[in-house]
Structure 1
Amino acid sequence: MELLKDTIKRIKPVDSEAMEKARERQDDLTKPRGSLGKLEEISIKLAGIQGNAIPEIKNKVIFTFAGDHGIVEEGISAYPSEVTKQMVLNFLNGGAAINVLARHVNARVVVADLGVSGDIEAPELIVKKVGYGTKNFAREPAMTRAQAVEAIEAGIEIFNKQFRGAELIALGDMGIGNTTSSSAICSAITGRAPEEVTGRGTGIGEEAYRKKVTIIRKALELHKPEGKDAIDVLNKVGGFEIAGLAGVTLAAASNRVAVVSDGFISTTGALIAHTLNPDVSDYIFAAHRSVEKGHEIILEHMKLEPVLDLNLRLGEGTGAALAISIIEAGVKILREMATFSGAGVSKTVE
């Protein structure tokens, strides 16, 4: 618990002075003010995160965490739990969508096992297994409170060892059943009804979807998680990989490193971090707007605007990888574009 407390304590507000200087430079670049829209906003936000009026991005890391969920026993997923382990091996072999897109943006992928139901022997895999999957929260708490803290701190430790001076990191996930856990977390923290935040995950049919909503509602009534207590929410309905991603988010913010959250599950991890320290949101870029209904609710709750809207719902960090290229473009505009005075171009007539 001390690592978690210390990490939260080290998170400071973003640098407003650096943001103002970045804004002034944007206004002096050879273009009409505001003409590059969100690209300008992105670079200014990153300036505040880094405390540098002309931010830079040299190194990027995507943290993709995996864990299984006992709630799968209730028949709420189109795929069996063993797919989690199979996909982790696919990540490690470089054959998944996240590997392709990470190569596209020249980002390193860190894959970690926080709670896969089976053992995976692979030298490239980081193993911080808190348990062999969570418990079935339709019947009992998903994990103990101690395990919730352990999983968050595992994420912090992985970040501290693996970010290696990166200026930008991204969140990714893998875990069959994790949209059910994310929906329950979202409902508990935002106060929205289960049917408002629950989607179809891996593509379940109407009957399974109705069952999923009912299970989440009954679980929340059974466990009564306290929405303002992120640890309690994880304890009751969380996932080990979700908790680990919360830890990565907290650790990144404490080191003034920007975070790109992917879709519903990874942004749920960011929501846990935000609940522990609201200043975290200023360090987060929302990569995209997922088709999962709960994702939109979380973005509204954290006051985040997505960079992209491409009807994505895969996870793994794929949307975050795509958004990295847009964020880099915004930074390059600020760093490399000529100013009116430098280029000898006349400014607009006031």
Structure 2
Amino acid sequence: MFNIKAVSCEHSEKIQALIDGKTKPLGALGDLESLAKQMAKIQLTASSFKSPKNNQHKLELNSPHLTIFAGDHGVASEGVSIAPSEVTSQMVANFAGGGAAINVFSQQLGWQLNIVDAGILHPASSTAVLDQRLGNITQAINQQEAMTQAQVEQGFIFAKKHIAELKSTGCNIVAFGEMGIGNTTIASAIMAAIMAIPASEAVGRGTGVSDDVVLKKQQVVEQALALHRDNLTNPQAILRCLGGFEVVQITAAMLAAAENRMLIVVDGFICTAAAMLAIELNTNVKGYMIFAHCSGEQGHKKMLQWLQVKPLLNLGLRLGEGTGAALALPIIQAAAAFYNEMASFADAEVTDVT
């Protein structure tokens, strides 16, 4: 369903030479240099270096869009969260009204914010919320499959259309956030299934639950993994058995964004679970991903290590909503700015000390 072209390494040496030729010691801009190189590899066209007069490819960050996908989870009724499922709909209304952290950060930093109802218990009444509903709530994953294969497939269709609409505005950088009471339990189950680790290594405190609730979450994830063990054979089956309506659409949106050669800024624990599924579905998507931050959820660091990626930020965030991805935008912009605007030793007539 997604035709993703692998990020080319054809011009890696020339890109690196351009970065090394800037007026700085080699490697002095640290992770900004590897970030700029990744962006250049994604955006570079085959003709960019053909002419000696055109040896500098300009990085572009156009119309950054951040989409929050919201969905409710049947597993919330198992007592795995401090909040009831009704809070998902209440927070969606808060997003629509501009009162959440992600609204504040998006306005401050220049993200255009989209809110998608992927399937919440009480449908949103605001026209600011896009209707991409797959149902009202998933089934409890420790009792039955979370959703049908038809719902998974419809979620992919919705997400692909959404990304096409963003692309039509000129957008070439996207990020995703999520809202859904119980979705850290879902992400933990997905993590455990993909990494083949016990629930105790995947389950964390989510919104800040007690030790008793953490134990309950572990038990629920263990039950789910045992119930679906024979079916967890591929990413779509994992989504069907363990996923959430919002996780399905984030996974597909990441794949669609890579298909359109867009930069993908990956948020925290739940979005990284979706990223893991996307990579399992098509490994080429990973080259388009920028991992924004390491969240305070205990399993997230293990996810990032397993993926062998380094996040840009580590602020102890565990809010979700795409807040970590939003905060990474100035870092990404700085990487593009130095690559585009910083003088070379030759241009500035500075002695090359490298």
Question: What's the TM-score bracket when you normalise by the shorter of the two chains?
Answer: over 0.9
The offset of 1:145, in angstroms, is 1.6
Q: When the two structures are superposed, what TM-score results if normalisation uses the length of structure 1?
A: 0.95
Q: Which of 39, 45, 49 is the equivalent residue of 1:46? A: 39
Q: Which of 93, 97, 107 is the equivalent residue of 1:93? A: 97
Paired letter, 2:18: R
Cα deviations by residue, 1:102-154 (Å, 9 ceiling, x for unpaired): 11211101110101111111112111100101011121111112212221222
1:40/1:330 contact within 8 Å kept: yes
Paired letter, 1:157: K
Q: Which of 295, 299, 306 is the equivalent residue of 1:294? A: 299
Output the CA distance in 2 between the equivalents of 1:315 and 1:128. Answer: 20
The offset of 1:22, in angstroms, is 2.2
1:310 matches 2:315: yes
1:76 matches 2:76: no
Q: Which of 94, 106, 111 is the equivalent residue of 1:107? A: 111
SS in 1 for 2:254: helix
Aligned to 2:199: 194
1:170 matches 2:170: no
Q: Which of 273, 282, 301 is the equivalent residue of 2:278? A: 273
The offset of 1:226, in angstroms, is 4.7
Aligned to 1:14: 7
The offset of 1:228, in angstroms, is 4.8
Aligned to 1:215: 220
- Structure 1's unaligned 5+ residue stretches are none
SS in 2 for 1:140: coil
Cα deviations by residue, 1:135-183 (Å, 9 ceiling, x for unpaired): 1112111111221222122211111112422121111100000000000
Output the CA distance in 1 between the equivalents of 2:256 and 2:315. Answer: 29
Aligned to 1:25: 18
2:67/2:114 contact within 8 Å kept: yes
Q: Could you say if the C-alpha distance between residues 268 and 311 of structure 1 is closer, same or farther in structure 2, counting changes exceeding 3 Å?
A: same
Aligned to 1:338: 343
1:80/1:176 contact within 8 Å kept: yes
Q: Which moved more, 1:70-79 or 1:222-231?
A: 222-231
Cα deviations by residue, 1:240-295 (Å, 9 ceiling, x for unpaired): 10010011100110011010011001111111111100111111111100121222
Q: Which moved more, 1:51-60 or 1:174-183?
A: 51-60
Aligned to 2:330: 325
2:88/2:179 contact within 8 Å kept: yes
Identity over the aligned pairs, expressed in percent? 39
2:62/2:170 contact within 8 Å kept: no
1:66 matches 2:70: yes
- Kindly report which structure 2 residues correspond to 1:231-270, keeping only aligned pairs within 5 A, or say none: 231-270=236-275
Output the CA distance in 1 between the equivalents of 2:233 and 2:289. Answer: 20
Output the CA distance in 1 between the equivalents of 2:38 and 2:348. Answer: 26
Q: Which moved more, 1:293-302 or 1:271-280?
A: 293-302
1:243/1:272 contact within 8 Å kept: no
The offset of 1:227, in angstroms, is 4.8
1:262/1:318 contact within 8 Å kept: yes
SS in 2 for 1:204: coil
Q: When the two structures are superposed, what TM-score results if normalisation uses the length of structure 2?
A: 0.94
Aligned to 1:153: 157
Cα deviations by residue, 1:6-59 (Å, 9 ceiling, x for unpaired): x2xx20111213443321111110000100000111000011112254321132
Output the CA distance in 2 between the equivalents of 1:252 and 1:18. Answer: 22
Aligned length: 342
Output the CA distance in 1 between the equivalents of 2:341 and 2:231. Answer: 48
Q: Could you say if the C-alpha distance between residues 63 and 132 of structure 1 is closer, same or farther in structure 2, counting changes exceeding 3 Å?
A: same
